[in-house]
Structure 1
Amino acid sequence: MPPIRLGVIGLSARGWAAAGLIPPLLDPALSDKYTITAIATRSKASAQASVARYSDLTGHNIKGYHGEDGAIDIANDPDVDLVVVSVKVPDHYNAAKPAIEAGKDIFLEWSPTRNLEEILELAEIAEAKGVRTIVGAQSSQGATTRTVKGLVESGKIGKVISTNASLILPRETGLGGKTAIQQIAYALDNNSGATLLTMPVGHYLTNLSHVLGNIREVSATSAIFYPDVQIIDASGNPTGETIKKTSPDQIVITGILGGEHDGAIVTIHAQSGPSAARFLWFIDGEDGTIEVRNRLENGPFGVFATSNEMQVLLNNVEVELDRREEDRLGNAGKAWLEYAKGNEGEYQTLDHSVAVWRVLDAALRSIALGGQKVPVISA
């Protein structure tokens, strides 16, 4: 089977694509399954630099596109099978739509879009075009999630009656607090799709739905304690710019699970805080409790649970993670491995992400209604 030819939008010197998304594809386990044929970045200089770097790493020539038409050029390139979109969330929709309309398979980093309306439109077009989709919410590939899911399904804790999570994102990440790095200042806008709710909570909900199923009803409240945010540069120096923040830095969601664990209570508290990153997740059953907690060495983004394995305890006793040989590829690499299996692979799709975005949308509607209970609208 010939390798899947990738056109990558957003593969520059820095960012998630360069740091975590593309490196696994150079591993021998994946290098015969994928090949990069085109790259598009914002500027001509960055496109030229990326083309030179990855042409050298892959041993073959790669096309380079740039500017506002870069996404369209990738979409129309006959040597591209799968378009990979790894840019800022507000730009996802415009980068992905031309590719899907051209019948290209698509990879979209989480969050796929800024809102439910955009993701529903892309999913509808993808279905009409027969396009395969994959979304970069890879926590379901982790040994941590595999272990937790196995414990639940084995009946170790009996019937699930509740689950609750606490997520603290350090303020230096820019999603809360009095200052924000200039590079991610766009996340201060509640309509950006890159907020405390849509990013860390969105990643967690993807994991939650993989382990326990979807939420059918939510109520939510939020607060903004730092409405005026001072913008700083990468060195931490003030730029002199102050932005009015509209995205919350405190969110509380309560809900009820549907499906197999129908009726189980869900609580989520997400916040920006002065302390180190914290992720605590409890699943309580009639016969026991599963606890998941991030390790401090996971760093400030440990709450995303996408690339770092965590500590899992069953009834206060740490359990050994269900590790496999392919875990060396990381969660992003394992998602690529599954996608290459075609219909037999297990990975997050646009349809999975629609289900998560329906929960996020219900939470946003509940916040607007002062915390009222809101049903999660199904397809």
Structure 2
Amino acid sequence: MTSASPHQGPIRVGVVGLSAHGGWAATAHVPALTGLDGYELRALSASSAESARAACEKYAVPLTFSSAEELAHSEEVDLVVVTVKVPHHLDLIRPALEAGKPVFSEWPLGADLAQAEELADLAHHRGQLTAVGLQARSAPPLRYLRDLVAEGYVGRVLSTSMLGWGGPWGATYDDDHAYVLDVTSGATLLSIPFGHSVDALAMVLGEFCEASAHIENLRPEVTHVTSGAVAAKSTEDQIAVTGLLESGAVAAMHFRGGTSRATGFHWEINGTQGDLVVKADHDHWWMGRLRLYGTRGDDGGLVELPVPVRYQRSLTHWTERDAEPAYNVAHEYALLRDQITGTLEPGTDGVPDFRHAAQRHRMLEQIRAAARTGRRTTLAPWARR
């Protein structure tokens, strides 16, 4: 099954990293897959045979495999979904690509740019369909926001400001998130909260063409939430990026590690004729309910802008589930299903693929370079390598 050969029948999914004890696969991927037509959750592999059996029983999955490689080579699996921690992505995604299977990987694609490029190149050379979990691009409110901007709701965009935060990179840590303390894990404030957010901003307003940055680790030691043990942290906990978008608009993004006592997330777009605002309640804002507000001319204060039903596409039964972590993931799976089956409506964006992911990794590395040098950096054109 490739992007050039539409699939017939239900898409049989094998998930790498589904655990009976919870996690992102259980929280978002399983509800999304089971809540959509056209998919069958067929197989899984986990960190151990015992863990795989437990997950199989809990989620009623017919097939279990002792390794991601065995799962990828199964004739019972059409699509491999990789939902494990970032440091393991390369070793678990590569076998699926080598087996000729389409792959949906969570973001970040790799622990670093080199890994992301290796996977993107392998998929491209084999002509395989891929997807990466930058699900904000599939969120109905953000697709509506993009159209509002394109249709001139705010006039010419003059500036945009985004303020956010990321809990796991604060003053404390727990056992599940100890790995994010190490910058070499690839699971950082820059790659995850900032990476998801800048990708969403770019989808709505266009890419950065130049930027200045400060990336700081102001808490090099953090405390375990229960034991009180002190651990070293090499990942950043403050990111401030300012620059120009390709349109000429000024952009500013500030992301903070830990929990905010004030503003959790706020995104504002200012134009010659109006303003738009995006608000969210969740620190990982791309996972939860989004609310849009706008005002134009002399209309007065901000008013909420309901998302038209057409942005739900065929997922109107998900309308009341927009606060669930599975909501935006389900919309991405719906787009992926339509790509796989060859039924994607003309003019509709597909899902971000591995090449898109590698380009986003490259952009983040350029921002790191800008922070290291302390100079304004011209970012390489998005579509070029």
The TM-score with structure 2 as length reference comes to: 0.86
- Of the three residues 121, 134, 137, the one matched with 1:137 is 134
- Of the three residues 146, 154, 167, the one matched with 1:157 is 154
Match of 1:265 in 2: 250
Match of 1:62 in 2: 62
Q: What CA RMSD, in Å, does the superposition of the two structures yield over aligned residues?
A: 1.9
Contact 1:145 1:211 in 2 (8 A): yes
| Distance in 1, Cα, partners of 2:286 & 2:303 | 18
Contact 2:242 2:250 in 1 (8 A): yes
Shift of 1:43: 1.8
- Equivalence map 1:1-379=2 (5 Å): 1-13=8-20, 14-27=22-35, 29-30=36-37, 33-55=38-60, 62-66=62-66, 70-169=67-166, 173-177=167-171, 179-232=172-225, 237-238=226-227, 240=229, 242-258=230-246, 261=247, 263-272=248-257, 273-275=259-261, 278-294=264-280, 298-299=281-282, 301=283, 303-315=284-296, 316-324=301-309, 325=312, 326=315, 328-329=317-318, 330-342=327-339, 343=342, 344=344, 346-376=350-380, 378-379=384-385
Contact 1:116 1:354 in 2 (8 A): yes
Which amino acid is 1:142 matched to? A
Partner SS state of residue 290, structure 2: coil
| Distance in 1, Cα, partners of 2:84 & 2:306 | 33
Change over 3 Å in CA distance of 1:292–1:246 after alignment to 2: same
**How many aligned positions are there?**
351
| Distance in 2, Cα, partners of 1:96 & 1:271 | 31
Contact 1:203 1:304 in 2 (8 A): no
Contact 2:278 2:290 in 1 (8 A): no
Contact 2:53 2:64 in 1 (8 A): yes
Contact 1:144 1:312 in 2 (8 A): no
Contact 1:147 1:321 in 2 (8 A): no
Contact 1:206 1:353 in 2 (8 A): no
| Distance in 1, Cα, partners of 2:317 & 2:84 | 26
Change over 3 Å in CA distance of 1:182–1:356 after alignment to 2: same
Match of 1:58 in 2: none
Partner SS state of residue 140, structure 1: helix
The TM-score with structure 1 as length reference comes to: 0.87
Percent identity of the aligned residues? 31
Change over 3 Å in CA distance of 1:355–1:367 after alignment to 2: same
Partner SS state of residue 305, structure 1: helix
| Distance in 2, Cα, partners of 1:167 & 1:122 | 30
Change over 3 Å in CA distance of 1:288–1:278 after alignment to 2: same
| Distance in 2, Cα, partners of 1:200 & 1:215 | 17
| Distance in 1, Cα, partners of 2:45 & 2:375 | 43
Shift of 1:257: 1.5
Extract unaligned runs of 5+ from structure 2. Answer: 1-7, 319-326
Partner SS state of residue 80, structure 1: coil
Shift of 1:191: 2.0
Deviates more, 1:360-369 or 1:274-283: 274-283
Partner SS state of residue 169, structure 2: coil
Shift of 1:327: 5.2
